[in-house]
Each structure stands twice: as C-alpha cells, then as structure tokens.
Amino acid sequence: MCRVANVAIMALVATASALYSDSAVPGSVPGHGPVTRPNMVAVGTIVWLSSELMFFAGLFAMYFTIRSIDPGLWKEKTAILDVPYAAANTLILVISSVWCQLGVHQAEHGKASRTGKLWEVGSWGMREWYVVTYIFGAVFVSGQVLEYATLVSEGISISADAYGSVFYLTTGFHALHVTGGLIAFLLIIGRTFTTRHYSHAQAAGAVVTSYYWHFVDVVWIALFATIYLLQ
C-alpha cells in the first residue's frame, strides 16, 4: 500500500517545486535557490529517489534468490517471454527520456511552449516535448498491459507459481512508478497554461520531474536485462 502511495509523491513533488521556486528570496539564482545552498526541492528529490533505488534493489534480490531456488521453473517460463516485443517497448521508454531531456533544455531557457507552428519542431518549447514524452510513456505502460494479458492467457499469472509472482511484482511496481511520472508530467504541462511568464525558477518542477523519469528509465533497463536477457 505504501508503494501505491509513493506513486503519487512524484506528482506532489512537481507542485511543491513550483511553490518553492516561486518564493525564491532576493540574492538567489533563478531555479537554484539562494546562492548559499542548493535547490532544496532537487536535493529532496534525489534523496527520495535514493530510497526508491533501495526498494528496487530489494526486488532484484528477491528475483535472484527465488530464481536460484528453482532454476528449472525459470527455464520453462522465460521461454514463453516475447523478447523482441519487450525490447521494442523498452526502446519506446528510452526514447521518451530523450524527449524529456529536450524539454528540460527548453525549460531551463525559459521557453515554456512553441513559438511557431506545431509541425515546426525546432520552435517547440518544454510543453510540446513533455507532451511527446507523456505519449511515449503512456504507450510503454499500455504495452506492458498488453503483454500481461498475453502472458496470462499462456498460463503465467501472479498466483500461478513463484515465477509469475516475482515477474508481476517487479514489472508491476515499475509500471506504477511510470504512471506516477505521467501524472507529474500532466501537472507540469498544466502549469504552462496558468503562468504568463515562465522563468528559470518556475522550471524547477520540470527539472526534478526529469530526474524521476530518467530514474524509472534506468531501472527498467536493468529489469529488462535481468528478466528478458538473463534467461
């Protein structure tokens, strides 16, 4: 239950970062807080992500421990996995991180939205790149749901055996974290419609959200290598 609650924390971070940034004191560097200390929202996000890293480390430990107990079951079940499909879905998430970073670049330069036509990609601001990131992230989660449906039809369910339990716990918790990131993106994108001047200080929310998104991206790459490649 606490993990489900954590999924919503990223959305709250986006809002909190905006409030913190807008209250910057005189003598501060826009988007970085007072010159005598780092941005507290960024520091808090990194500390929180460190705790999430430990959580996923526990999931990896569980996976390898149970696998060592029954390697025969793993050999049988991993043969059912559709590795090319999972690789394509992984590529979608990796590319979304590229779009996210392009959005961060625009946010750091105070460019909240496009200055030209929609098809003029060079004129895009943070909003457009984050919308594309959101779409790719949503496609990734949808791809996982479709994979789950296929695996259940082939006899791999969370209650079928140890492999099914570990598979759905590890990938499912990651999917919840991705969903939390998607909620945060909606909040960040929504803010661009409610502010007239998008300063560097207001970009702090977009920056810390990118930290989280890159984190779930790297975690998934490790999960993909562990579950789909190390068979």
Q: Kindly list the domain boundaries of the chain, sorted by start residue.
A: 2-229
pTM: 0.80
- Predicted pLDDT at 93: 95
CB 10 within 8 A of CB 187: no
In DSSP terms, 29 is beta-bridged to: 33
pLDDT, tens digit (0-9, with 9 covering 90-100), for 130-142:
999 999 999 999 9
- Predicted pLDDT at 29: 40
Q: With the C-alpha atoms ordered 16, 21, 22, 23, is the resulting torsion angle positive or negative? A: positive
CB 138 within 8 A of CB 97: no
Q: Sort residue 199 into left (φ over 0), alpha (ψ -120 to 50) or beta.
A: beta
- Tell me 225's DSSP state: I
- Tell me 120's DSSP state: -
CB 63 within 8 A of CB 163: no
Mean pLDDT, the chain, integer = 80
> What's the CATH code, domain 2-229?
1.20.120.80
Low-confidence ranges of the chain (pLDDT < 70): 1-39, 41, 198-202
- Tell me 38's DSSP state: -
CA-nearest of 182, 15, 208 to 104 is: 208
CB 103 within 8 A of CB 133: yes
